[in-house]
Structure 1
Amino acid sequence: MSGKAGHPEKLERVEQVEETGSDEGKSPKVVGESNSITSEELKDDNLDPAASFLFIHKDVDTSHIDISKLRHKIDRNVVSIMAACFIMQFLDKAVYNYTAVMGIKKDLKLKGNEFSHIASAYAVAHLLMQVPNAFLIQKFPASKWLSTCVFGWGIVTICTAFVNDFAGMLTTRVFLAICEATIAPSLMLITAQWYTKSEQAPRFAIWHCAPGVGQILGGLLSFAFQDIPRDGRYLVGWRLMFIVLGVLTMFVGALTFLWLPDTPMNAKFLTTEEKVAQLNHVSVNMTGISNSKAQYWQIMEALKDPQIYLLVFPGIFSSMSSGLTGTYSTTLIHDLGYKNKQTSLLNMPTGITGIITNLTVGFGIRRTSNRWMWAVGLTVPGIIGASILSFLPQPNKIGSLIGIYMVPAIYTITTVVQQWSMSNVSGHTKRAFMAGMMAACHGIGNIIGPQTFQAKDKAKGYLPAKITVLATQAMCAVLFVILWQYYLWENRIRDRKERQVALEDDTGGVALTTEQSWAGLTDKKNPRFRYIY
């Protein structure tokens, strides 16, 4: 959305129509000046620091700021760094997938389901870390906490190169999960600081392309490092690969610490006028920028909120299914009869699928909204791909590869659900808790998912795992339709109440107040909040 930043109340009206994609979610007209802040309101401990910044710079002229150009400037300086962090996270995690064809099972003397147990141990540690992480990402600046963890998992990745048995690999994967647990919640909260709700969708999509990029780069790295001779003069290929990735990750962590700002208010690459314009622009989200004061009652509200569970369960189901490409796609391709180096290259198109679906859906939501329809549509390739893998008569290499290449569309469901949750959950503590919940979904799904791949099922082509993909995607589609209807119902109730207030006050509308924009009200407590669908 292009426009000048000097008219926040006009931007607010446009965003309300654009976000819902329907008159059902549109608030009544706005009257009065939006976001006027008084010195008395600044004394509120719950007020977002952005409100203080706007009060101090209330006389700054932003009429000359072009929002479209400002948005692209933020993209270059913020989204690029976030994407680099997520690419390294996926690479550091997913190279474990590629080591399956690089001799790691033989080198570490892994037996039976130990390869799966290591993947599940990572997921358990990742899940458990979400509890303290939800507190830490609110207590400390998200960008600083993120960069510290990125640097930390780079060190752990290097250490992975020197393990010699199951216990050593299990230990390093657990520590890797502890460091990587913050990546998704941090990126979710940082993205929500900088963009309006409709603008967030393509930005989430861009940094969520990282798994696809990681699959491609991982395939190339695996292909290259398989040429390292096993003659005792050098470390074997998979060990060298972990060292190279660890060094690169530490570099990205240091860059993130030095460049990624904590909030828009202290961004070095923005002028004061641009900061004011950006804050006025995103004030229509009514979700705030940051606040380090924890309000634990918001966690209880979240646990009673129906939308939380309608977002969480699809998150779990999609994570269970995406394990097919995240951990076991190379195993499935290798079992079709391809050699190790061929397997690494043939696994790369799974990443291309993820990139295409993420960008298509992200920018599609930006133009049309209708998140629920895009989400339901994303379950179709997964259902078809899983059906092909489950029921196609074998041997059929080409057909099986097509099925494997379709399944990664499932991962984009995670993109949609995470962005949806950041748009529809308000309140600083509630939103930090929700970000942790969405990351926990990934952990739960990745605990269950690998366990559907049992060594005893190899002769049957891992049929139970493939059927699991089919069933979970069908359940996702049903839940998305229910969520759409829930949001419609909630918005209609709020519209009726607001129209009644307007009639009783004889104002014809209700002004968007500072409290509603910056006081950190939850979506349940803010009568002006409307859910997008």
Structure 2
Amino acid sequence: MGMKTDLDLKGNNFSNGASAFFIASLVAEVPNTYLLQKVPPAKWLSINVMLWGVAAAAAAGAKNYTTLLVARIFLGIFEAPVAPSLMIISGQYYTKSEQAPRFTFWFLGLGVAQIIGGLISFGFQHVHHAFAGWRIMFLVMGLITVAVGLATLLFLPDTPMQAKWLSDDQKVTLLQHVRVNQTGIRNGKFDPKQLLEAALDPQVWLWALMLALQAVSSGVVVVYSSTLIAGFGFGGPISALLNTPSGIVSIFFTLLVGIGVRKASNRWAWVFICSIPGIIGGGLMSFLPKSNRAGILIGIYLVNSIVAPTPVIYHWIAANCAGYTKRAFTSAVVAGFFCVGNIIGPQTFQARDAPEYRPAKIAVLVTQAVAGILAVVLFGYYVWENKRRDRAQSTQEGQAVVTDEKAWGGLTDKQNKDFRYVY
């Protein structure tokens, strides 16, 4: 769209700008862990969405690499709370089996954005004005984002008990419905012991590593798919249009996973299954000759299947991580590792590797293979832990009962011996 020329971006400036966004987001996750505990989640989400829109609109005024970098840093800071806040809010309304399709529903925004973004980019590249098309695009999308943030502030409640569209009887019914989760709703008390428990919990780091590996690939395809397509010799507008099928693939696999988990559970299997087209896509991108445009394009599109496991991991956190402080910390850690993956992804695109960028393509192949293996490891851990708890419970008399303390007392999944992990 002319940004590189207008801002005189050279060498790895564009890659560094992409990484700066996620470095800032990673740093912001540290205070976000505490603020998610103290600030009502819907309010915190809406404020950051509005500020994110302001930063996006301000990016339209970038004059050079430095000012673009500053804009990207602020964008990263304000996006940091979005995924953790959505995880906490979404987990309040649904049972564990119901959460997966709901999480995937809001995550469909990524695929929709790829499609709409490609069309918007195509349109604005035909705008010939003193104020460049890419600047107009940033300004318009930033203002729309501010409006979305304002709507979130006005209409999204912090907890089900504050939902104006629910009667008192419906609120009681909802709380009884989600009681079986044994994860509670909200607790404003910060508990350092839960922080330590999360830091020593194997599942937390398996989630984090899986998401980081998937983010390396998503960082490649989301940021650079148009660049890869342009490497075939297509102009900017056509490259933007050819990138829109990536969004369709993302939406298809995200819906498939959401429905599949709801119908057949086996979250680990869906994460593993989605890594397969990602591996195939990475292989096609890496090893097909450049003359095989169709095959490489198919590879680029297939890699977008790897975004589908992300909401499954987010759902795992909501379903398997009990204790408000622990869940807030875990959400921030996993979101932080997502940033790490997205920092690494763009850095695999080095100017010296243009126009084929083979190391970046191989990175997609390898990270997807390892992420699939980790999903199987996590499955094995959950089976082992549940059986261990079953054996311990079988030595006690009576049937386990979901008491008020277990449902609402803020116990962690480790403290509550009747808690069972879903996988």
TM-score, reference length from structure 1: 0.79
Q: Percent of aligned positions with the same letter in both sequences?
A: 49
Q: Specify which of 135, 138, 147 is matched with residue 34 of structure 2.
A: 135
What is the aligned partner in structure 2 of residue 436 from structure 1? 332
Displacement, 1:178?
Answer: 0.7
Displacement, 1:352?
Answer: 0.6
What is the aligned partner in structure 1 of residue 378 from structure 2? 483
Q: Secondary structure at the match of 1:318?
A: helix
Displacement, 1:227?
Answer: 1.4
What CA distance in whole angstroms lies between the structure 2 residues aligned with 1:329 and 1:299? Answer: 38
What is the aligned partner in structure 1 of residue 50 from structure 2? 151
What is the aligned partner in structure 2 of residue 418 from structure 1? 314
C-alpha contact (below 8 Å) 2:57/2:142 kept by paired residues = yes
Q: Specify which of 222, 241, 251 is matched with residue 326 of structure 1.
A: 222
What CA distance in whole angstroms lies between the structure 2 residues aligned with 1:222 and 1:195? Answer: 37
What is the aligned partner in structure 1 of residue 412 from structure 2? 522
Residue 173 (1) aligns with residue 72 (2):
yes
What is the aligned partner in structure 2 of residue 105 from structure 1? 4
**Cα offsets for 1:112-153 (capped at 9, x unmatched):** 000001111111000000010111111011000000111111
Displacement, 1:394?
Answer: 2.3
What CA distance in whole angstroms lies between the structure 2 residues aligned with 1:339 and 1:124? Answer: 31
Q: Give the paired residue count.
A: 423
Q: Write the letter of the residue equivalent to 2:53.
A: G
What is the aligned partner in structure 1 of residue 369 from structure 2? 474
Residue 184 (1) aligns with residue 83 (2):
yes
What is the aligned partner in structure 2 of residue 261 from structure 1? 157
Point out the structure with max Rg over C-alpha: 1
Displacement, 1:526?
Answer: 0.2
What CA distance in whole angstroms lies between the structure 2 residues aligned with 1:477 and 1:156? Answer: 36
C-alpha contact (below 8 Å) 2:229/2:239 kept by paired residues = yes
Displacement, 1:208?
Answer: 0.7
In the TM superposition, 1:208-357 aligns within 5 A as 208-230=107-129, 232=130, 235-357=131-253
Displacement, 1:300?
Answer: 0.7
Q: Secondary structure at the match of 1:472?
A: helix
Q: Write the letter of the residue equivalent to 1:495.
A: D
Q: Write the letter of the residue equivalent to 2:133.
A: G
What CA distance in whole angstroms lies between the structure 2 residues aligned with 1:263 and 1:417? Answer: 22
Q: Write the letter of the residue equivalent to 1:144.
A: K
Displacement, 1:510?
Answer: 2.4
What CA distance in whole angstroms lies between the structure 2 residues aligned with 1:327 and 1:287? Answer: 36
The Cα RMSD (Å) is: 0.8
What CA distance in whole angstroms lies between the structure 1 residues aligned with 2:365 and 2:81? Answer: 30
Q: Secondary structure at the match of 2:91?
A: helix
**Cα offsets for 1:343-395 (capped at 9, x unmatched):** 11110010111111011101110010001111100100110000001111221
What CA distance in whole angstroms lies between the structure 2 residues aligned with 1:345 and 1:517? Answer: 50
Q: Write the letter of the residue equivalent to 2:186.
A: S
**Cα offsets for 1:451-473 (capped at 9, x unmatched):** 101010014x1111111111111
Q: Specify which of 396, 402, 419 is matched with residue 512 of structure 1.
A: 402
Q: Write the letter of the residue equivalent to 2:382.
A: Y
Q: Write the letter of the residue equivalent to 1:213.
A: V
What CA distance in whole angstroms lies between the structure 2 residues aligned with 1:309 and 1:285? Answer: 22
Displacement, 1:396?
Answer: 1.2
What CA distance in whole angstroms lies between the structure 2 residues aligned with 1:292 and 1:168? Answer: 38
Runs of 4+ aligned structure 1 residues displaced above 2 Å come to none
What is the aligned partner in structure 2 of residue 398 from structure 1? 294
What is the aligned partner in structure 2 of residue 499 from structure 1? 394
What CA distance in whole angstroms lies between the structure 2 residues aligned with 1:229 and 1:514? Answer: 64
C-alpha contact (below 8 Å) 2:204/2:334 kept by paired residues = no
Q: Write the letter of the residue equivalent to 1:512.
A: V
C-alpha contact (below 8 Å) 2:257/2:309 kept by paired residues = no
Q: Secondary structure at the match of 2:395?
A: helix
What CA distance in whole angstroms lies between the structure 1 residues aligned with 2:145 and 2:421? Answer: 37
Q: Specify which of 192, 195, 201 is matched with residue 100 of structure 2.
A: 201
**Cα offsets for 1:429-456 (capped at 9, x unmatched):** 0000011012112110011111101010
What CA distance in whole angstroms lies between the structure 1 residues aligned with 2:90 and 2:155? Answer: 15
Q: Write the letter of the residue equivalent to 1:486.
A: Y
What CA distance in whole angstroms lies between the structure 1 residues aligned with 2:32 and 2:211? Answer: 18
The answer to which of 245-254 and 412-421 deviates more is 412-421
What is the aligned partner in structure 2 of residue 370 from structure 1? 266
**Cα offsets for 1:294-353 (capped at 9, x unmatched):** 001111111111111111111100001111221000000011121211111110010111
What CA distance in whole angstroms lies between the structure 1 residues aligned with 2:212 and 2:401? Answer: 39
**Cα offsets for 1:223-262 (capped at 9, x unmatched):** 11111114x3xx1100000111111111111100000011
What CA distance in whole angstroms lies between the structure 2 residues aligned with 1:490 and 1:178? Answer: 37
Q: Secondary structure at the match of 2:127?
A: coil
Q: Which 5+ residue runs of structure 1 have no aligned equivalent? A: 1-101
What CA distance in whole angstroms lies between the structure 2 residues aligned with 1:145 and 1:362? Answer: 27
What CA distance in whole angstroms lies between the structure 2 residues aligned with 1:194 and 1:132? Answer: 26
Q: Write the letter of the residue equivalent to 1:108.
A: L
What is the aligned partner in structure 2 of residue 30 from structure 1? none
Q: Write the letter of the residue equivalent to 1:455.
A: A
Q: Secondary structure at the match of 1:442?
A: helix
TM-score, reference length from structure 2: 0.99
